[in-house]
Amino acid sequence: MSKKADIKKILCIKPRGIGDIILSTIILENIKAAYPHSEIHYLTEEFAKRAVENNPFVSKVLTFKKKDFVISILSKVRKAKYDLVFDFWSNPKTAQITFFSGAKYRAGYNKRGRKYAYNIKANPGNTNTHAAESNLQLLKEMQIPIVSKKTLFFLNDKEKTYAKDFIASNFEDELTIGIIPSGGWKSKRCEPEKWIEICNAMLTISNLKFLILWGPGDEDDANKIKNNLHEKSVLIPETNVGQLAGLISECDLVIANDSGPMHIAAAMEVPVIGIFGPTNPVNHKPYSTNSDYVIKDDLDCIICNKLSCPYSHECMKNLLPEEIVVKIKKLLKIT
């Protein structure tokens, strides 16, 4: 096994998406504790780099575009002269990057057609392992002690100020409840009509106001929700990822589809409830102690992992708003 003195520069490969990269940050405090004098770099796609920017454990973020050839990415990686590469993605492209990186130690998952790239191999987590903790498998193979199981996301001062000013201008003493209709797959997106139903049920909790948080592709749903909640809601303007995260950090609680913003909320320890249907909450639920999730688990088609529903999207349309209200009250300690 490696000698700690040999390892000065470490590369962690996790190209996409933002939620997956945030879940991978569970490794950082552990690596830094094991190799305190090392530099830790990340390799991500350009659009997702904000997931690890501002992180005090990450010295540098290398980026590439999805269509970039392996050889162009490799030139950046080889030039940096890494001692250790962790391939937390382990797909054919990242396996090639790892294999030709020039690193003495190359850690990745024991997957068919890719294990040639690694001289340190781990089996992926089983079906009962949360996606965040699956990243720890490679650390265990390196005999790195697990001293922390926190996912991490950090704001800069400008983002904090932006969020505080926006909330101060739009909220008084109400509970600020964030509503996030985002979702990378169509099947993961709860319909706006159901969101409206959920929000109306929540109005039984006194003195609250909804902050409707949205990103690219969410505009129609966000506007429908706003137009039905009227003065009980505030629709945010167009934001970048950091500004959106800042606004999430100012919420008393967030409700979100299974999405990157849901994982941002959990990483910042904002109470969060995830709405699940096609994906398994055992593996993908908000990874924090002050979180929960809802799922219509009596459906035969639940956790189908289909990008688009072949039926009528019953996993979302048949959710019971009252169940969500009960969980909200529990997280907010409201009797």
The Cα 260–Cα 265 span in angstroms is: 9
Residues 137 and 166 in one domain: no
Q: How confident is the model at residue 206 (pLDDT cuts 50, 70, 90)?
A: confident
Report the range of poorest mean pLDDT among 68-72, 147-151, 280-284.
68-72
pLDDT in tens, 93-108: 999 999 999 999 999 9
How buried is residue 74: exposed, middle or buried, by Cβ count under 10 Å (0-12/13-18/19+)?
middle
The reply to whether 201 falls in a domain is yes
Over the Cα atoms of the chain, what is R_g?
Answer: 21
Contact partners, residue 149, CB within 8 Å, separation at least 6: 26, 132, 133, 136
pLDDT in tens, 292-311: 999 999 999 999 999 999 99
The reply to whether 147 falls in a domain is no
pLDDT in tens, 251-304: 999 999 999 999 999 999 999 999 999 999 999 999 999 999 999 999 999 999
Residues 72 and 132 in one domain: yes
Instruction: Return the pLDDT at 175.
Output: 95
Residues 49 and 16 in one domain: yes
Residues 226 and 308 in one domain: yes
The number of residues in the chain equals: 335
Question: Span 204-226, mean pLDDT?
Answer: 95
Question: Span 178-196, mean pLDDT?
Answer: 95
Residues 270 and 208 in one domain: yes
| Residue 62 domain boundaries | 4-141
Instruction: Return the pLDDT at 127.
Output: 83
The reply to whether 23 falls in a domain is yes
Instruction: Return the pLDDT at 6.
Output: 85
* DSSP-assigned beta bridge partners for residue 122: 109
The Cα 24–Cα 12 span in angstroms is: 9
- Element containing residue 41 per DSSP (H, E): strand 39-45
Based on the structure, what is the number of domains in the chain?
2
- For 224, the token pair is 């429908």
Residue type, 202: M
The Cα 108–Cα 98 span in angstroms is: 9
- Note the pTM of the prediction, 2 decimals: 0.95
For strands 175-180 and 253-257, give the pairing. parallel
